[in-house]
Homo-oligomer: A and B are copies of this chain.
Amino acid sequence: MSEVVSDVVPKVVERAAALLRQIRARNPRVHCITNTVAQAFTANALLAAGATPSVTTSPEEIGGFVAGADGLLVNLGTLDRERREAIGIALDAAGSRLPWVLDPVFVERSPPRLEFARSLIARSPAVIRLNAAELTALSGEKASVECARSFASRNGTIVALTGEVDVVTDGSRLVNLHNGDALMSKVTAMGCAGSAFVASALVVERDRWLATAAAMTVFGLAGELAAESSDGPGSLAFAILDTLHGMTPDTVVEDAWVEA
């Protein structure tokens, strides 16, 4: 077991270190169906990381955008009628070609959103990124590392469970990611932007678990480094964009904190 563990950690760090360079080189188009609050910050995070975002939720248009996209995010914030309709069309257009990320924001607050999220999980998202309250609502049991693991296995997906320590698991493989800063929770759309970044990582790495773990490592580290030079959540919001834009592989190798 320790050999396996000692394999996993350097692999995630190595993958994380190369990630931004590869995204910049590929410049993937990532279509983001996301909430109205998060659209601008999410688009800026993807641009800073080297991807090209699009965000329309118009049912008339989304098919064309998804057909030309390399990645897809489905975030359930501000889930209005148009977004519900757009999500269905987008998933039809994505088919099995595009792996997609589900971010079930605030499902614990709204019964119709919870029901809709369950119907989406049946459509096989590659990754579900959520916090403890959201996992509790979706799984019907108190969120924990074991709950994340079994939820991932049961649904054939990757679960990225965020919190003080982030957990990324496909049911068998599992890492704990310690990078990040508490101040990140004081900036709206920070998690939503992180989910979009995971969607861009899926374009350049076929191993979905590895892509997710690498992307979560890079994003957490970018927030952590940005927080160090910030006076509060306002300056963190722009500093993380600068950091994503300028971050080098060496920084990732030096400062990534990944545990199996």
Contact = CB atoms under 8 A, between A and B. Distances in A.
Range class of the A interface residue count: 35 or more
A21 interface: no
A207 interface: no
A231 to B, nearest CB: 4
B79 A58 contact: yes
B47 A188 contact: yes
Contacts of A54: 106, 109
A235 B237 CA distance: 10
Given A58-B80, A188-B44, A246 B231 contact: yes
Interface string A1-45: 000000000000000000000000000000000011111110110
Nearest to A63: B110
A242 interface: yes
A233 B48 contact: yes
A150 interface: no
A95 interface: no
Contacts of A36: 36, 39, 55
A239 interface: yes
A233 B47 contact: yes
Interface in A234-258: 234-235, 237-246
Given A47-B233, A64-B113, 6 more contacts: A35-B55, A37-B39, A40-B40, A53-B188, A60-B79, A237-B241
Interface of A: 35-41, 43-44, 47-48, 53-58, 60-61, 64-65, 68, 77-82, 106, 109-113, 185-189, 230-235, 237-246
